[in-house]
Each structure stands twice: as C-alpha cells, then as structure tokens.
Amino acid sequence: MGDQITKDPASFISHLELDQPDKTFLDSNELIINMGPQHPATHGVLRVILKLDGEKVLGTECVIGYLHRGVEKIAEHRTYTMFNPYVDRMDYVAAVSNGLGYCEAVEKLLNVQAPPRANYIRVILTELNRLASHQLWLGTHALDIGAMTPLFYTFRDREEILKIFEKYCGARLTTHAFRIGGCLYETYDGFEQDVKKFIDFLPPKIDEYEELLTTNRIWVERTKGVGKISASDCIALGVTGPVLRASGVKWDLRKAQPYAAYSDFDFDIPIGQSGDTYDRYLVRMEEMRQSLRIIRQAVERIPEGPIMAKVPKVMKPPVGEIYHSIEAPKGELGYFIVSDGSTQPYRIRVRPPSFVNLQALDLMVRGQLVADVIAVIGTLDIVLGEVDR
C-alpha cells in the first residue's frame, strides 16, 4: 500500500492505432477484431476492439456508452425522492446496494439518521443482494469459461433471494427497497424465518459450486495466472472491490469507513495473494460466506423500533455538498451530491465501481490470449448499466 507508481503512467493508457498501413503480401499477422457490442461474453453492450497477433492480444480499446441514459442529468430535474428509483437501474443486479448508497448520502446531506432497526434491515437486504450479485457473477463467469452447469445452479439459489425481496417490497430486481430516512416497509411476517432458512440453505450450495470448480483442473488452468494485476497497479487505476482485495489489499469500506450498521458485526475481509482470476474467484466465494455470517448476526440481533426517521415531506437539504460511498458488490460505489437548497439536487455524480474497474481491462489482458479476455471481462464483474449510466 502506498507504493509509488513504478511504471510509466502512459503504459496504462490504451490507445489503438486503428488505421492500418497497407499490408504486404505475407505480413498480415495482426488482426483487428471487434468484440461486441453484440457478443455473448461481453455481459451487455460492451464493445472491445482487440488487436491480435494470432491469438495474442497486443492491445484493447473499450468502447462504451451504448447504454447511456444520462442518469446524472435526469437527477438534476427530479426531486431527491423522485430520483431514488433511478439509481436501481444502474447496477441492476445489485439494486439494493445502489439504493442504500443513495439514501445514506441524502440522509447525510439532510443530517438525518436512519433508526437502528432500519439500518439492520438495510444490512440484511444489502448483503442478500451482494450474494445475489456474486451468484450471478459466478454463473456467467463460469459460462464464459465454458462450464455451463454452474449457471443454472446459481440461478436456482439466487431465486430464493429474489423471493425474499419480492415478499419484502414487491419487486425482484429493481427493488427500490429503501427510502430516504429509513425503510418504507416493515418486514413481513416470517421475514426472519425466511432469511434464517436461507442462510442455512445456502452454505451447502456454495460448497456445491466450489466442488464443481475450485479443484477442477481445467478451471484452475484457465484462471490461474490469468489477468494478473498487482496491488500497486490496482491502486493506481482506482480499482476497488474484490479485484483489489484479490491483489492482496485488505480494504473494504464496510470496515474502513463503516456505514449503516456494519460496525456492529463481526466478519473477515478475504484477500488473495497473486491477483489473478483464480484468486478473485476464491475471494468472491469467501465473500459470499462472510455475507452469510453478517446476515446471521443481523437477523439474530435485529432491534425493535421505528423504521423511519423524521424526514420532511418536501426535502430541501441545506446548501452544501456530500460524498458518500459504500462497498457495493463490485467495489466502491460513491454518490457526490451538491445541493443548492432547493428540492432538486444541483448535481449528482455517481462514482460507479464497474466503470473504473473496467479501465484495468487493458492492463490485465495485454500479452495474453483471446480466451483470457473473456475470462478477465467476466472476473471484473462489470454491469454495463452502471458503466454507462
């Protein structure tokens, strides 16, 4: 940590010279391939232009923005409350985390604190969402590397989480579970039983995923040493989340700057050593187990009390600005909100983890093979809705 950048910063920048000089008769080894935006393994509408020497990647350039909806511009024309559902549409596989970050940021700006029970509910749902996000990642990542079966196993188990969401707030994916100041809905009858049943149900399933992959020879060969990134490169490129932790940096915002009720719980931050795809896989698998630990503690200790703080009907935060970030499943998700004292935010800036992490793609795949590009895109765990906003 705190290492000086040893490389030339320009080496981090990918910039392909796409105009090819006239090729000679035999000199056509270099191939420019356009991967995406419609490609089964780019997880959405990501377009990666690859420059190949045979199968070896000489450089990449990402073209993004196909899913750009101007969320930040929309925010300036909505009230604080009205904007809340929009954030769910960014990282749609971890919508609860997005909502949590936004609600907490506005609460801070209003100088309101959510009541403890609300915070516990938030933690439970957010961690469930982290599990769902990691399961989705695992399934699609394994599918990219060619293992079809884990996809169906993870989707089967993710369904249980989505059922809890549906029972809690009526929506499965874009939940809009939290409101500024707390939660709108009290937990339904049997919520705690459902969650407890789920945390007993999942550990054997995680073992099952691991049984399919962790010691699978081909899986290990495909992921070990692939897409390596060192801790100092991660920090220089602003990479956060499991990718950073797999490189050996023990940093998690839930511990470093606790929010919601995370300071009450006991959990570990799994870290890897080598920063390759296999380590990132192991880190995420362990994170799933730690999430279960947090949920178990939260469910056992959930306090009684109100779930909504006193928040004015018309929110007019005082003039000022705030940056608040949380540990989303993909990394640091930050909201920078500027208030001019009116009902509408003057500016909302979202600091998306996927967007920043995707920058590391070029560094991670340069000199590797085409098949590794797929593995690395999968292991970065990007959601294009969040990259493009």
Partner 1 sequence: MQPVATTFFFYFLSGITLISGILVITRKNAVHSALALILGLLAQAGLYLMLYAPFVAGVQIILYAGGIMVLFLFVIMLVNLERAQKEEQFNKQWLVGLLAAVALGGLLMTVYLKGSTLFTEHIAQPVENSNTQQIGVMLYGNYMFAFEIASLLLLVAIIGAVVMAKKRI
Partner 2 sequence: MLDYITSYLSSNTTPGQAGNVFWALVYIMVVFGGVSVAVMAMNWLERKALAHFQIRLGPMRVGPHGLLQPIADAIKLLTKEDIVPSEADKFVFWLAPLIILCASFTVYIVVPFGPTHAITDLNIGILFMLGVSSLSVLGVVMAGWASNSHYPLIGALRSSAQMISYEVAMGMAVVSAILMTSLNADGTGTLSMIGIVQAQQAQHTWFIFKFFPLGFIAFGIFAIAMVAETNRAPFDLPEAESELTAGFHTEYSGLRWSLFMLGEYAAMIAVSSIAVTLWLGGWMRPFPNTLTGDTWDLVFSLIPGFLFLGLALIAFIGVARMPKHPYFRIQTIGLAGFGAVLGLIGLVLFAPPVRDRIQDIFWFCAKVAVFMYLYIWYRATFPRYRFDQLMRVGWKVLLPVSIGVLILTAIIGVLV
Partner 3 sequence: MPEDTKSPTPPSGQPHAAAPAKPAAPATTPWDSPTVARLKSQYGSGVQESVTYLGQNYFVLDASFTAEALRILRDEEQFDYCVDITATHNPTREKQFELIWILYSYSRNERIRVKTNIADGESFPSSISIWPAANWLEREVFDMFGIKFDGHPDMKRILLPEGWKGHPLRKDYGIIQQDQEWVQINLGIESGQ
In terms of CB distance, is 29 or 111 closer to partner 1? Answer: 29
Per DSSP (E only), the strands in the chain are 30-35, 47-53, 56-63, 178-179, 182-183, 320-328, 331-339, 345-351
- The structure tokens listed for 357 are 């992490």
* Distance (Å, whole) CA 367 – CA 60: 10
- Count of residues touching partner 3 (by CB under 8 A): 78
298 and 123 in contact (C-beta within 8 Å)?
yes
Binding partner of residue 116 among partner 3, partner 2, partner 1, none, CB cut-off 5 to 8 Å per kind: partner 3
Could you give the angle at the alpha carbon of 74 between the alpha carbons of 69 and 78, nearest 5°?
A: 150
Question: What does the per-residue mask of binding to partner 2 show for 340-379, with x meaning CB under 8 A?
Answer: -----------------------------xxxx-x-----
The piece of 25-33, 75-83, 117-125, 357-365 that touches partner 1 (CB under 8 A) is 25-33
Q: What are phi and psi of 17, to 5 degrees?
A: -85, 100
3-class DSSP state of 55: coil
By the rule CB under 8 A, 341 interacts with partner 3 = no
For residue 159, the Cα-to-chain-centroid distance in whole angstroms is 19
* Distance (Å, whole) CA 149 – CA 142: 8
Question: What does the per-residue mask of binding to partner 3 show for 52-71, with x meaning CB under 8 A?
Answer: ------------xx--x-x-
By the rule CB under 8 A, 28 interacts with partner 1 = yes
By the rule CB under 8 A, 114 interacts with partner 3 = yes
* Distance (Å, whole) CA 285 – CA 212: 13
Site for partner 3 in 214-253 (CB under 8 A): 235-239, 249, 251
* Distance (Å, whole) CA 243 – CA 307: 34
Kindly tell me which residue out of 36, 115, 139, 378 binds partner 3, with binding defined by CB under 8 A: 115
Site for partner 3 in 270-289 (CB under 8 A): none
Distances (CA, A) of 39 to 48, 148, 384: 10, 17, 13
The piece of 59-67, 200-208, 218-226, 324-332 that touches partner 2 (CB under 8 A) is 218-226
Q: Output the smallest distance, CB 22 to partner 1, in A.
A: 9
202 and 165 in contact (C-beta within 8 Å)?
no
Question: Is the sign of the CA dihedral 306, 307, 309, 313 positive or negative?
Answer: negative
Binding partner of residue 23 among partner 3, partner 2, partner 1, none, CB cut-off 5 to 8 Å per kind: partner 1
By the rule CB under 8 A, 21 interacts with partner 1 = no
Distances (CA, A) of 62 to 8, 14, 291, 378: 21, 9, 32, 15
Q: Output the smallest distance, CB 207 to partner 2, in A.
A: 16
Kindly tell me which residue out of 3, 11, 20, 23 binds partner 1, with binding defined by CB under 8 A: 23
No. of helices (H) and no. of strands (E), the chain: 15, 8
The piece of 154-162, 278-286, 288-296, 350-358 that touches partner 3 (CB under 8 A) is 350-358
Site for partner 1 in 35-54 (CB under 8 A): none
Q: Residues interacting with partner 1, by CB under 8 A?
A: 23-26, 28-29
- Provide the binding-site residues for partner 2, judged by CB under 8 A: 31, 33-34, 39-41, 55, 142-149, 151-153, 156, 212-213, 216, 218-219, 221-222, 369-372, 374
